[in-house]
Amino acid sequence: MPGPGDAAGNNADDPSSANASVWRYARASRAHVVVDAAAYFDLMQDAMLAARQRIFMIGWDFDSRIRLGGGRRWWNLPRKGRFPARLGAFVVWLVRRRPGLEVRLLKWNLGALKFVLRGTMIVDLLRWLFNPAIDFKFDSAHPVGCSHHQKIVVIDDRFAVCGGIDMTSDRWDTPEHLHEDPRRRRPNGRLYGPWHDVTMLVEGEAAATLGDLGRARWRQAGGAPMAPCAPQSETPWPADLAAEFHDVEIGIARTRAEYYDAPEVREVEALFVEQIARARRFIYAESQYFASRRIAEAIARRMAEPDPPEVVLINPLSAEGWLEQAAMDTARVRLLHAIAHCDHARRFRVFVPLTSGGAAIYVHAKLMIVDDEVIRVGSANMNNRSMGLDSECDVFIDAARPGNGHVVPAITRLRHVLLAEHCGIDAERVAGLLEQHGSMIAMIEAQGSEGKRLQPFVLRPLTDAEKTIADSALLDPERPDEIFEPIGIKRGLFRHGGFLRRPR
């Protein structure tokens, strides 16, 4: 069904949608939001086993050493001996036993150096290289300082995944996020901490449309043209998975920096601004970062209204790595101080999820729910890079679109499931608790400070140097040309003419 981003027709590279908020709309016979990578890896193993023509994986990172059946099929080993558990060996096993099946993998090029340090992954890559059914390509089709950040899988153009989960290490975890879980183990045997993530599965026309996007990206990265898969009646949808959504329209939004003849696309940013503006009652969001000037301005405008919506944002306690902390953590503090100036009704809160033992759960999910009418999942974080530098893809379901009015109860259930997961309570209790306390914020704060919980994010003091770095957006620019642009009033979090007031 045509929408704001449909003027491009069937050409995935058409520049006519560069300033729209949606690239395309497409119907999905089924759709489902998968919470946390334990379930995702199991489901992807099922879907890949059902592939007939092509498995096309697009990611920021891949680690061939991970075990796909990381939960029920690795730890409990009910299928031991039937097929390899590791991704690298599984792919080789699969193409050898399924004549005509091809596998295409597209990965951000800068991470190529990691492979040298990943031991047996070099062996897997060599096995892939000499198998004509497998083609692995590094994506360097972006300006200096940008990255390829999409996380998409398309199988047979009938089934697809789009979200925040990479098929790499340090991702596997269950919704329980146990304080200490021996199954959270890297390929080298070392344990890692709790990790929260989300992705969306789609079936039907929406999957074929994501296939169009993937093939365009493959060509841009230097790959040979790839034809669409032939129509087939069989579906790779996992047989045991009951979908949350049936017969829905899926919207797709992208980010892409200008690169040679590929124009800049900022649909993700425009869609965030639109969806924040339309909220009447509440916004529930999860994001790895909160550092986008445009998103912060959109929220601040809503908080300044006489009767603003409630906004609950789930963030990790801190970003991973010193550079991300210097860029994202300091910008988050500055933006939250600025929003606080507008939040007269105290309806904006940031919470950090903790395990039952008080350890911070790392939030890698990129999700937003608006009034239980919109569910949005993708690869884009709430930072400047995801708005204009890195290649991103978000998918969403909007109850206001024709034929989508039936989705509201399913979105409500999902929001309750996520709140229950973070608060350590049964999902069946959430509706009653929300009614009792009157808001998500009040319900979360009433759960106390013991056990698995959401803890209010506390703004730490910043040094003058940290404030300067954060305000300049030097490490998280909005466009590639700003990487090399002198710092001035035309750039940064509090640029001239912006809505946010610089906090002291």
Please say if the pLDDT value at position 80 is more than 80. no
> How many Å apart are CA 248 and CA 403, to the nearest integer?
7
pLDDT of res. 112: 55
Domain ranges (residues) in the chain: 30-223+239-252, 265-483
pLDDT at residue 72 tops 50: no
Q: Looking at residues 232-238, what average pLDDT do you find?
A: 97
Asked if pLDDT for residue 77 goes beyond 50, the answer is no
pTM summary value? 0.93
3-state secondary structure of 120: coil
**Reduced to 3 states, what is the DSSP secondary structure of residue 345?**
coil
pLDDT tens digits, one per residue of 119-174: 677 788 888 888 999 999 989 999 988 999 999 999 999 999 999 999 999 999 99
* CA geometry: angle 36, 68, 239, nearest 5 deg: 80
pLDDT at 236 over 60: yes
Residue 96 has pLDDT above 90, yes or no: yes
- pLDDT for the residue 483: 67
Query: Does position 113 have pLDDT exceeding 60, yes or no?
Result: no
User: pLDDT tens digit string along 275-284?
Assistant: 999 999 999 9
**CA distance to 12, 23, 47, 50, per residue, from 236 (Å):** 24, 25, 5, 5
pLDDT at 220 over 50: yes
Question: Which CATH number is associated with domain 30-223+239-252?
Answer: 3.30.870.10
- pLDDT for residue 6: 39
Is the distance from CB of 286 to CB of 33 less than 8 angstroms?
no
Nearest to 144 by CA among 110, 107, 105, 106: 110
Q: How confident is the model at residue 114 (pLDDT cuts 50, 70, 90)?
A: low
What is the average pLDDT across 344-363?
98
Q: Annotate 291-329 with b (16+ C-beta within 10 A) or e (fewer).
A: bbbbbbbbbbbbbeeeebbbbbbbbbbebeeeebebbbb
Q: Which two tokens stand for residue 33?
A: 């939001």
pLDDT at 5 over 50: no
Pairing relationship of beta strands 245-256 and 198-203 according to DSSP bridges:
unpaired
Distances in Å between the Cα of 217 and the Cα atoms of 51, 254, 263, 379, 397 are 21, 12, 13, 15, 24
User: Does 265-483 match 30-223+239-252 at the fold level?
Assistant: yes
* Predicted pLDDT of residue 435: 98
Tokens of 350: 């940031």
What is the pLDDT of the chain when averaged over all its residues?
90
Q: How far is CA 170 from the centre of its chain?
A: 15
Highest mean pLDDT out of 120-129, 281-290, 315-324: 281-290
- Per DSSP, which regions of 362-438 are E strands? 362-363, 367-370, 374-378, 392-398
Architecture of domain 265-483: 2-Layer Sandwich (3.30)
pLDDT computed for residue 320 by the predictor = 86
Q: For residue 424, is pLDDT > 90?
A: yes
Predicted confidence at residue 349, as pLDDT, reads: 98
Give pLDDT, residue 123. Answer: 82
Give the count of alpha carbons within 13 A of 68, CB side only. Answer: 21
Mean pLDDT of 449-465: 91
